[in-house]
C-alpha cells in the first residue's frame, strides 16, 4: 500500500540527496526511500542518529582482528611465494615445542573439539586454504584419533598436520600409527603410546632432518668442508672408524665393532642379528665402503667395485670376522663385483 503525504525539504537536504538522485535517475521518491533504508541500518548499528552521524563521518576505520594482530606484532603478513619457500626449506624440521605452545596453548585447549575449532580459525585467518577434521573416541583423553586435512596445497596440509598431530602427541600421549596421503587430503591415524615411551613415529615423520640440520648448524665449517670434499671427487670416498684406521696403520685387520656399539648403544653380541645386518648395511653404504648390500634368507651379498683380488679377499674375510663378533658364522665366495656370504650357524 502506498501512502501519499506532502513533505517539506530545505534546499540543503535536497543537495544531500544528489548522489541518491543520480543513482535513481532523478526519482526523488526512490532517493528518499533509499535514504530511509540507509538511515535505518545506521541507527540500528550505532544506536542513535547522532552516534550514526559521528561514526559514519569519522575518518577512523574499524579494523579486523587480523589487522589488529598485525598491528600489535602478534602476526606478520607474508606473500604466498615466501611462505611456500619457507615451508619447502624447513621440510623435515620439527617445530619447537615452545613455538607450538605459543600458537596452541595446552593450558587453554582441553578437548580435541576445541583444538579442531581453533586450528580452523587460525587457518581461515592465515589464508592457508585447507581445513581440519579430528575424529576420536574421547575428546578429552583419546586412546585413538584420526586427523584429516583437506586442501589443494600439499605443503600447507603438511604444515597444518604437524601443528595438530604434534599437539596431540605432546599433550594427549598419542603417536602416529598410519599415514594416508592422497592428491587433495592427508589422513593421519594416531594411537595411544606408553607413558614412558617417546613418540618415535611422529618425530621420524615430521622431524627426519631436525637432528641433521642442528648438527650442520652447530658444526657448520666441518659439514661445509666435508660436503665440498665429497662433491669434488664425485663421492668416490671411503670413511672409516678411527680405531679401525689405527689398526690398519699398525698392520692389523681387526673388525671395527666399536662403531656399531656406539651407534646401537649395545655390546655387539647383544645386537639382534637381523638388526645388526641392517645396521651394517646402512652404515657401510653411507660410508661408501661398498656400493650396496643385499640381505635375504641366510645370504648376505656385498656389491663392490674393487679391482684387486687380494683387496676383495681381505674384504670378505673382514665381513666374516665382523659377523663372527655378532655371534654368527658365515662362509663366503667372491667375484670381481660380488661377495656372497652364507649363514652357516650361530655361535653358542
Share of the chain above pLDDT 90, in %: 53
- Is 92's pLDDT higher than 80? yes
Q: Rounded mean pLDDT of 16-33?
A: 78
pLDDT digits (tens, 9 = 90+) for 30-45: 777 777 787 778 777 7
C-beta of residue 156 within 8 angstroms of C-beta of residue 87: yes
pLDDT digits (tens, 9 = 90+) for 255-307: 788 889 999 999 999 999 999 999 999 999 998 889 999 998 889 999 998 99
- Is 172's pLDDT higher than 90? yes
Strand, helix or coil for residue 95: coil
Cell of 80: 604466498
How many alpha carbons fall within 13 Å on the CB side of residue 337? 1
Share of the chain above pLDDT 70, in %: 95
Cell of 258: 666399536
What's residue 75's pLDDT? 79
Q: Is 146 exposed, middle or buried (0-12, 13-18, 19+ CB in 10 A)?
A: middle
User: What are all long-range contacts of 79-87, with beta carbons under 8 Å and residues at least 24 apart?
Assistant: 80/127, 84/153, 84/155, 87/155, 87/156, 87/158, 87/159
Cell of 342: 652364507
Q: How confident is the model at residue 348 (pLDDT cuts 50, 70, 90)?
A: low
- Is 345's pLDDT higher than 70? yes
What's residue 60's pLDDT? 57
Q: Rounded mean pLDDT of 307-325?
A: 91
pTM recorded for the entire structure: 0.68
How far is it, in rounded angstroms, from Cα 312 to Cα 15? 102
Q: DSSP string of 177-236?
A: EEEEE-SSEEEEEEEE--TT---HHHHHHH-TTHHHHHHHHHTHHHHHHHHHHHHHTTT-
Amino acid at each position: 500500500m502506498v501512502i501519499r503525504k506532502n513533505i517539506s525539504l530545505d534546499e540543503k537536504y535536497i543537495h544531500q540527496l544528489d548522489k541518491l538522485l543520480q543513482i535513481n535517475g532523478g526519482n526523488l521518491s526512490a532517493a528518499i526511500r533509499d535514504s530511509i533504508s540507509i538511515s535505518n541500518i545506521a541507527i540500528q548499528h550505532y544506536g542513535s542518529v547522532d552516534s550514526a552521524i559521528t561514526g559514519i563521518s569519522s575518518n577512523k576505520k574499524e579494523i579486523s582482528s587480523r589487522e589488529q594482530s598485525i598491528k600489535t606484532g602478534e602476526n606478520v603478513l607474508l606473500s604466498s611465494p615466501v611462505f611456500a619457500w619457507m615451508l619447502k626449506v624447513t621440510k623435515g624440521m620439527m617445530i619447537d615445542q615452545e613455538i607450538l605452545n605459543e600458537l596452541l596453548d595446552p593450558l587453554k585447549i582441553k578437548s580435541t573439539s576445541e583444538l579442531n575449532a581453533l586450528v580452523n580459525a587460525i587457518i581461515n585467518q592465515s589464508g592457508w586454504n585447507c581445513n581440519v577434521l579430528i575424529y576420536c573416541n574421547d575428546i578429552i583423553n583419546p586412546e585413538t584419533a584420526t586427523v584429516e586435512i583437506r586442501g589443494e596445497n600439499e605443503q600447507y596440509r603438511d604444515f597444518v598436520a604437524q601443528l595438530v598431530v604434534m599437539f596431540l602427541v605432546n599433550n594427549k600421549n598419542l603417536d602416529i600409527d598410519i599415514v594416508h596421503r592422497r592428491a587433495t587430503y592427508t589422513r593421519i591415524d594416531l594411537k595411544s603410546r606408553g607413558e614412558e615411551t617417546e613418540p618415535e613415529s611422529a618425530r621420524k615423520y615430521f622431524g627426519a632432518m631436525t637432528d641433521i640440520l642442528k648438527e650442520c648448524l652447530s658444526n657448520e665449517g666441518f659439514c661445509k668442508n666435508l660436503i665440498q670434499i665429497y662433491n669434488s671427487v664425485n663421492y668416490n670416498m671411503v670413511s672409516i672408524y678411527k680405531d679401525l684406521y689405527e689398526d690398519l696403520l699398525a698392520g692389523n685387520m681387526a673388525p671395527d665393532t666399536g662403531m656399531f656399539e656406539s651407534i646401537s648403544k649395545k655390546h655387539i653380541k647383544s645386537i639382534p642379528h637381523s638388526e645388526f645386518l641392517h645396521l651394517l648395511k646402512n652404515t657401510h653404504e653411507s660410508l661408501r665402503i661398498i656400493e650396496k648390500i643385499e640381505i635375504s634368507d641366510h645370504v648376505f651379498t656385498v656389491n663392490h667395485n674393487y679391482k684387486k683380488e687380494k683387496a676383495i679377499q681381505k674384504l670378505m674375510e673382514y665381513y666374516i670376522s665382523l659377523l663372527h663378533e655378532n655371534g654368527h658364522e658365515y662362509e663366503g665366495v667372491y667375484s670381481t663385483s660380488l661377495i656372497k656370504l652364507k649363514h652357516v650357524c650361530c655361535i653358542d
